[in-house]
Amino acid sequence: GQQVMQIPQYQHVQEGEDFTTYCNSSTTLSNIQWYKQRPGGHPVFLIQLVKSGEVKKQKRLTFQFGEAKKNSSLHITATQTTDVGTYFCAGLDAGGTSYGKLTFGQGTILTVHP
Amino acid sequence: ETGVTQSPTHLIKTRGQQVTLRCSSQSGHNTVSWYQQALGQGPQFIFQYYREEENGRGNFPPRFSGLQFPNYSSELNVNALELDDSALYLCASSDSGYTEAFFGQGTRLTVV
């Protein structure tokens, strides 16, 4: 079945440093979504990428979708303590499914030291 | 907040018992998906309901079952609970299976 791998598992940064997490799928995706989960909280939708090579920005966050629609990245510029949490990518398989089963990566836990 | 509500928020059950978790979807959303999130892991897809019909299922045994009601709220039922069923159970609603999912706060199930 489809697998989504995410690296790194953990990232510790000083406030103001940049942060990047990478996501790779074993199959081609119809789209990829990114979620943030604060400690003790639930996943909160950040963005959805649909087109091959797509790049989207939200303030300090930049999201990319690979040309082959099998990989994606999230980059945060100048991290702040409010960025703390676990960042998940979640892919929708492009092959043959008739429903929107999201396959989540295992997440990257980001800690930011002030 | 998302408008997706789950109940109860926490639950402790004994191995072998049965449990029902409930989810009220966001207004206007006809699709509800259920996920299991073990500690330190990403959410794992259990199944999805679309307009009261099961619309897809992940790799979970038949003792995991569900329902969706005409108002699009949903239930997750787990029979013969096992210790490994201890997890955060998340409900997510969307206006189709292919758009952003709005998650509820989850039900933390502990099986002892």
Instruction: Annotate chain B with three-state secondary structure.
Output: CCCCEEECCEEEECCCCCEEEEEECCCCCCEEEEEEECCCCCCEEEEEEECCEEEEECCCCCCEEEEECCCCCEEEEECCCCHHHCEEEEEEEECCCCCCCEECCCEEEEEC
Determine the average pLDDT of the residues in B43-55: 92
Question: Which of A94-103, A105-114, B32-41 comes out lowest in average pLDDT?
Answer: A94-103
A90 in contact with B, Cβ within 8 Å: yes
Determine the average pLDDT of the residues in B18-43: 94
Contact present, A2 and A100 (Cβ < 8 Å) = no
B60 in contact with A, Cβ within 8 Å: no
Provide DSSP, A22-64: EEEESS-EEEEEEEEE-TTS--EEEEEE-STT-EEEETTEEEE
Block residue for tokens 């569900």:
B66
Contact A104 B43 (CB under 8 A): yes
Block residue for tokens 């081609």:
A28
A12 confidence band (pLDDT: 50, 70, 90): very high
pLDDT for B96 beyond 90: no
Q: Which residue from A4, A30, A102 is facing B101, i.e. has the nearest CB? A: A102
Determine the average pLDDT of the residues in B68-87: 96
Task: Write down the pLDDT at residue A97.
Answer: 54
Contact A101 B50 (CB under 8 A): no
The two beta strands, B107-111 and B10-13, are parallel
Contact A104 B44 (CB under 8 A): yes
Which of B98, B102, B105, B107 has the highest number of chain A CBs within 10 A, making it the mutation to test binding with A? B98
Contact B90 A42 (CB under 8 A): yes
List, for residues A19-78, the tens digit of each pLDDT value. 999 999 999 999 999 999 999 999 999 999 999 999 999 999 999 999 999 999 999 999
- The proportion of chain A whose per-residue pLDDT surpasses 90, expressed as a percent, equals 88
Structure tokens at B55: 């619309």
The two beta strands, B107-111 and B87-94, are antiparallel
A92 confidence band (pLDDT: 50, 70, 90): confident
- B94: closest chain A residue by CA: A100
Contact A107 B97 (CB under 8 A): no
